[in-house]
Amino acid sequence: MNAPIVPFREIFYSAGIMYSRFEPKSVPDPSLIDMLQREQADGAFFSTQDHDMSVFSLRHGQSEGNARNTYQGRLDFPLSVHGEQQARAAGEWLRQFKPDYIIASPMQRARRSTEIVADLVHVDHIEFSDLLIELDTGVFSGIDAESAARTYPALWKEFYTHSWDAIPGAEPSKSLYARAILAWMRIRELGEQGASRIVCMTHGGLLQWLMRSTLGVHRWFPLLPMSNCGISQYEIEIVEKNSPAFVQWTKIDFRPPNVPEGPKPVF
């Protein structure tokens, strides 16, 4: 039998540490979410570009929540010391590409990862966007997989077939797809303003949908690998102005040399 589902705003751990929830300043309108389901960040999407672009999307470094194998969602966990080392290794690898812009989630674990990477690649143009925050993990927020399975056995069974769409209070996949498309629209706009090598620092859940939205996939499964500071590289090659670009994922969850291993992260 499932335990009662109780909404919450903050989580306290036994060590006496409190982690607050991150609340976005705005969310997409439901009508806009519906409209964006028809979009896809494919070659045609980038037909207005006049130069090639490289987009390096990565998950933040290990957070304190990742270290505990906790479902974090919108809980604003800071980066761990291990996570700072991972971000540093990612930044050192990205430096060779001379990025000219970083767009990132403002949540603590992504913000600190961004600061470390930006310092290493010498980027001054940094934009923090609520479009890139992690999905809300609903009633699973603040607990680990074992606790979730024990406390909500029926939900846990549904979780394995419908992922977060089965969890009360979690962000629906339609919303995630729409946010991903809006993020790609902003990246396209940055390209139209002259950027050509963009780093996108986000979270494991949203990153799944940044990739799915380039393929027009609207379902959670199959999942893609998403390591802390694993880098996925999307290349946009302009063949002819006002014609569909040639697009491809040349790297998926690439782990740069010297990125320290850690526990397999959850959302």
Q: Which residues are catalytic?
A: 60, 134
| 153 pLDDT above the threshold of 70 | yes
| 79 pLDDT above the threshold of 80 | yes
- Is the four-CA dihedral 198, 199, 205, 208 of positive or negative sign? positive
| 8 pLDDT above the threshold of 70 | no
Residue 215, H or E segment: helix 204-215
pLDDT of residue 10: 52
| 6 pLDDT above the threshold of 50 | no
In a domain, 37, yes or no: no
In a domain, 109, yes or no: yes
Q: What token pair was written down for 236?
A: 């946009």
pLDDT of residue 267: 75
Torsion of CA 111, 108, 26, 235, to 10 degrees: 40
Q: Give dist(CA 10, CA 27) in Å, integer.
A: 20
In a domain, 16, yes or no: no
Range of the domain at 80: 42-138+170-254
CA–CA distances in Å: residue 104 to residues 90, 129, 208: 15, 6, 15
Is residue 149 exposed (0-12), middle (13-18) or buried (19+ Cβ within 10 Å)?
A: middle
Chain segment 184-230, per-residue pLDDT in tens: 999 999 999 999 999 999 999 999 999 999 999 999 999 999 999 99
Strands 18-20 and 10-12: antiparallel
The CATH number of residue 82's host domain is 3.40.50.1240
Q: Give dist(CA 190, CA 193) in Å, integer.
A: 5
Count of structural domains within the chain: 1
> Band of the pLDDT at 19, cuts 50, 70, 90?
confident
Mean pLDDT within 166-173: 98
Instruction: Identify which of 210, 85, 199, 190 has the alpha carbon closest to the alpha carbon of residue 135.
Output: 210
Chain segment 103-137, per-residue pLDDT in tens: 999 999 999 999 999 999 999 999 999 999 999 99
Q: Which residues contact 118 (CB under 8 A, 6 or more apart)?
A: 91, 102, 124, 126
Instruction: Identify which of 259, 262, 236 has the alpha carbon closest to the alpha carbon of residue 248.
Output: 236
In a domain, 15, yes or no: no
> Band of the pLDDT at 7, cuts 50, 70, 90?
very low
In a domain, 225, yes or no: yes
Reported pTM: 0.93
Chain segment 83-94, per-residue pLDDT in tens: 999 999 999 999
DSSP strands (E only) in 117-245 = 126-128, 197-202, 231-237
In a domain, 155, yes or no: no
In a domain, 161, yes or no: no
pLDDT of residue 2: 46
pLDDT of residue 257: 85
In a domain, 129, yes or no: yes
| 3 pLDDT above the threshold of 50 | no
Chain segment 220-242, per-residue pLDDT in tens: 999 999 999 999 999 999 999 89
